[in-house]
Amino acid sequence: MTTPSRITPGLAGVPESVDVVVVGLGVTGAGVALDAASRGLSVLAVDAFDLAWGTSRFSSKLVHGGLRYLASGQVGIAHESAVERGILMETTAPHLTRPLPTIVPLAPGVTRPMGALTRAALFGGDLLRRAARTSADTLPKPRRLTAAETRRLAPTLRTDGLRGAVLGWDGQLEDDARLVATIARTAADRGAAVHTHTRVVAATGTEVTLRDQLTGATTTVRTRTVINAAGVWAGDVVDDIRLRPSRGTHLVLRGDTLPGLDVAVFAPIPGQRNRFVLVLPQPDGQIYVGLTDEPAAGPVPDVAEPTEVEIGFLLDVVAASFSRPLRRSDVVGAFAGLRPLLDTGDDSTADLSRKHAVLTSPTGVVTIVGGKLTTYRRMAEDAVDAAVAHAGLRAGPCLTATLPLTGAASRPRLAELVERAETPGHARLVRRFGVDADLVIDSARAATGLPDDELLAPIDETIPVTLAELVFGVTHEGAADVADLLDRRTRVGLVPADRLRAVPAAERALELAVAANR
């Protein structure tokens, strides 16, 4: 086995000159770094803060099939989305994705014609799946559920007047930030220099000035091309791009708030036709509820904050669909992300976010914005194609549609590894790192000298995170501080009370990893 490459915080070891500099390590920038490196180009990819600092960690964590575009007649985008979903779930990241059953309850507020429309839409979605050649073993066909079947899958749904539900399937990520970290590690394995805590303070098509955010040191790197994947901050890197972000908010609930929920539920927004709030059970037992779409005018903040009005709205919609009373105190966390919408001067922003755009500035910087997490691979391919053509680079063809991300394996193999795992901690690492789980444990053991039972134990009674993954975050994934570990390498930070309890474990992991490097 070759030694896996490491992601480095700050400027240490940054090359003096490369073929491609990538600005930003959200899902788009990480995807661009992997695409370019796998075509044989030399790559430097940097993030001002951290992997998945921006929008990419605040998504709904769904791998969408493009149903809503089909509904609005945008067949091309819908097909692209379904194809990319299939690639992620079947080839590149089976370890980080899972089929998610979703139900639309046929409650009294959903009229019979609306129910028929919903069914038709889900069957349309299945046509998309088939056109994308995704197997029905990966995403089963939709079907109508009886009221009794619906209650079994979602026992806390309101049952008065419930006629059943329509069951469909979509993809769900283990975690969006984990996907980004995995793409970035795969890029590093392919030779890309990947640096966190490194800000691009100035860029032309042939040179970037970088600042180490940890030390304040600066340097200049020569390059043949620059790809700007800075999301909602893309307009700070080049002058001629204007964005008009919109904010999407999610709530975090504990699993026992709506016990027994095995499916995602589309909760209808009372008084509105065909608008829903999604109730999404997560692989770690929590439940997310989202999402809103609010214009976010003014300067782009480093981290967007949900408002109490958005929180109240989401809670009220869910409370109307479920029999359990929901209170503000059930909301143990809330997070908001900004959609990187291009400002085209047109008033309608509704669907722009999902269309991606590749734009070349007069300085030669190629910007990639918009799109969505699901289509990151295709966005990266288009951006690298444009940059290669613009700079006249010699590069191989795009390989990423058939290039598994590090740790990937078939679903049966992954299921076998989870089955054979001796502790819940080990099983968790298989879920988050696939067949790289052993690499995580071996590296953490080598770095700390600690026994496996200590490395694989949950860091707290109610927090399943392990010391092994925290140490690996520092030694291999460019984490430099407690926030990197708790807010991005793991997602403990989504629940502030848990985060407080996890700080000592994160500090310990940092100390152990730093001591190992001395």
Ligand X SMILES: Cc1cc2nc3c(=O)[nH]c(=O)nc-3n(C[C@H](O)[C@H](O)[C@H](O)COP(=O)(O)OP(=O)(O)OC[C@H]3O[C@@H](n4cnc5c(N)ncnc54)[C@H](O)[C@@H]3O)c2cc1C
Q: Cβ closer to ligand X: 111 or 219?
A: 219
Please work out, in degrees rounded to the nearest 5, the angle formed at the alpha carbon of residue 47 by the alpha carbons of 41 and 50.
130
Please work out, in degrees rounded to the nearest 5, the angle formed at the alpha carbon of residue 44 by the alpha carbons of 40 and 47.
140
**Number of chain positions touching ligand X (CB under 6 A):** 39
Scanning 161-169, 227-235, 271-279, 509-517 for contacts with ligand X by CB under 6 A, the matching segment is 227-235
**472 near ligand X, judged by CB under 6 A:** no
**195 near ligand X, judged by CB under 6 A:** no
Scanning 4-12, 97-105, 223-231, 503-511 for contacts with ligand X by CB under 6 A, the matching segment is 223-231
Q: In which element (H, E) is residue 287 found?
A: strand 287-290
| Tokens standing for residue 518 | 């001395």
**367 near ligand X, judged by CB under 6 A:** no
Q: Cβ closer to ligand X: 10 or 26?
A: 26
Q: Cβ closer to ligand X: 55 or 186?
A: 55
**478 near ligand X, judged by CB under 6 A:** no
Scanning 18-26, 132-140, 400-408, 454-462 for contacts with ligand X by CB under 6 A, the matching segment is 18-26
Contact, 377 vs 87, CB < 8 A?
Answer: yes
**437 near ligand X, judged by CB under 6 A:** no
Which residues in the 372-401 window bind ligand X by CB under 6 A? 372-374
Compose the 63-102 pattern: x for residues touching ligand X by CB under 6 A, - for all others: -x--------------------------------------
**56 near ligand X, judged by CB under 6 A:** yes
CA 151 to CA 165: how far, in whole Å?
10
Q: Cβ closer to ligand X: 127 or 202?
A: 202
CA distances 399 to 38, 81, 123, 167, 462, Å, are 7, 18, 32, 35, 41
Pick from 9, 11, 20, 24 the residue near ligand X by CB under 6 A: 24
What radius of gyration, in Å, describes the C-alpha atoms of the chain?
A: 22
Pick from 37, 48, 77, 243 the residue near ligand X by CB under 6 A: 48
CA 468 to CA 471: how far, in whole Å?
5
Nearest to 396 by CA among 31, 36, 39: 39
Contact, 96 vs 107, CB < 8 A?
Answer: no
**In sequence order, what E strands does 114-237 have?**
143-145, 165-173, 193-196, 198-203, 207-212, 218-228
Contacts with ligand X by CB under 6 A lie at: 23-29, 46-49, 53-56, 58-62, 64, 199-200, 229-233, 237, 248, 291, 337-340, 371-374
